[in-house]
Amino acid sequence: MRNVFGNERALHLHTFQGSSERYYLFFLLAGSLLVILNPGKGTSLYQPENGLLLFRKVLFLAEIKTIEIKPYPVFSHFQAKALYDAKQAGRSVVVTSMDLGVHAIEAQIHQEQVSFPDGTLLTWDDIVRIMSDTEACFYLCDSSLHPIRLYSELSGRSYSLMPCADAPALIIAGFPMHRIKNITPLKAAAAMVDAIQPFRGAVLDTATGLGYTAIAAAATATGVVTVELDPASLQIAQLNPWSAGLFTDPKITRIAGDSAREIEHFSEGRFSAVIHDPPTVSLAGDLYSGLFYRELFRVLKPGGRLFHYIADPESSTGKRLYKGVIRRLYDAGFSNVTQKPHAFGVVAFKG
């Protein structure tokens, strides 16, 4: 993985130095062996032509395990502007944050730089740089400032973190993966979880992203299983202070993989609730398909609830999508499919 500026070191990732082709051939053979050992698996990861999928998944798992977990100072234009304004006002102390507003601390204003309680120093040149980019978050490592931005070799898409009033938004290929108009990503995640409250037991979150939904669901669930396809999302989340609970809450289990395939491994009736918040349709693969909806129905307990994020119900795209989604949910066996306009989705029940 590289950030978009080619800085291999910026995100502290382990990379494979060997030949990708050699690894591919190995996993192609492994896929062939799995066909022999699992003849009833059908069209799945077990087919030999899908050896590359197995290869990518192993790379994914290896990369996740080698991410350096360290709470770097993270800033956006919100914090930079407060620091700059304090200097302009002649103040020597200002209340600010080193983690995008999660915690408040006091910083000392100096002529050449700002100092923080832990000894971190931020130069005014860096502060002006942060303040001038309203669509990026930056982390500080070894006195060097880096934008939280990378390119995923798995998906061929760019990933970045965009500051908002509270928790930041994940941007993939230029598309925000959260609602950001008249609401923050954190409040949008809470709205999705609230739409299917009250619930107890285990919850499935089909698209981890930055983990806001999984963190919110874990507040009342006995456990949350959350699935993420691209390691780039988790690499961004590792640097996002608002995602800390995704890695520290013992009730949250992270799975690396494609939800459309991983769901096949869950037992029938395992979950009391499912939160399905897929990316925009152009990036979602099979996550809007009738086949996937049938799998969601299968893994829900009787009486279980599904929340499915779709889009703004008042938009032209939303109106078109809602009709197809609702029809396919009913075809999959769900009942009482009800629109939840405040959450931009629908709730469906398992009989």
- Each residue's pLDDT tens digit, 63-120: 343 344 568 999 999 999 999 999 999 999 999 999 999 999 999 999 999 999 999 9
CATH code for the domain of 267: 3.40.50.150
**Listed range (9-23, 37-51, 259-273, 325-339) with the worst mean pLDDT:** 9-23
How many angstroms from the chain centroid is the CA of residue 76? Answer: 19
Indicate if the pLDDT at residue 41 is higher than 50: no
| Residue 119 domain boundaries | 74-147
Distance CA 104, CA 96 (A): 6
Q: 16 vs 98, which has greater pLDDT?
A: 98
Cα–Cα–Cα angle for 322, 323, 328, rounded to 5 degrees:
95
Per-residue pLDDT, 69 = 52
* Rg of the chain over all Cα atoms, to the nearest angstrom: 22
Query: Phi and psi at residue 89, in whole multiples of 5°?
Result: -85, 0
Distance CA 349, CA 302 (A): 8
Per-residue pLDDT, 30 = 40
192 and 321 co-located in one domain: yes
292 and 229 co-located in one domain: yes
In a domain, 162, yes or no: no
In a domain, 294, yes or no: yes
Per-residue pLDDT, 282 = 66
First to last CA, the chain: 45
Distance CA 188, CA 228 (A): 19
**Residue-averaged pLDDT of the chain:** 83
In a domain, 121, yes or no: yes
42 and 85 co-located in one domain: no
Domain boundary residue, one of 68, 96, 127: 68
In a domain, 91, yes or no: yes
Buried/exposed code over 203-214 (b: 16+ C-beta within 10 A; e: otherwise): bbbbbbbbbbbb
Indicate if the pLDDT at residue 284 is higher than 90: no
- The rounded percent of the chain whose pLDDT value lies above 90 is 71
Per-residue pLDDT, 286 = 86
Per-residue pLDDT, 199 = 85
Domain boundary residue, one of 97, 129, 147: 147
- The rounded percent of the chain whose pLDDT value lies above 70 is 79
In a domain, 154, yes or no: no
Per-residue pLDDT, 343 = 96
Per-residue pLDDT, 34 = 38
Per-residue pLDDT, 70 = 63
Distance CA 287, CA 327 (A): 15
Per-residue pLDDT, 25 = 35
Contact 299, 270 (CB under 8 A): yes
Starting at the edge strand found earlier in the chain, the sheet holding 345-349 runs 252-256, 223-228, 202-205, 271-276, 300-309, 345-349, 335-340
3-state helix, strand, coil in the chain (%, to 5): 35, 25, 40
Residue 257, phi-psi category: left (phi > 0), alpha (psi -120 to 50), beta (remainder):
left
Distance CA 183, CA 42 (A): 43
Indicate if the pLDDT at residue 49 is higher than 70: no
135 and 58 co-located in one domain: no
198 and 270 co-located in one domain: yes
- Each residue's pLDDT tens digit, 120-171: 999 999 999 999 999 999 999 999 999 999 999 888 999 999 999 999 999 9
Q: For 314-325, what is the mean pLDDT? A: 88
Q: For 205-220, what is the mean pLDDT? A: 96
Report the number of distinct structural domains present in the chain.
Answer: 3
194 and 324 co-located in one domain: yes
In a domain, 197, yes or no: yes
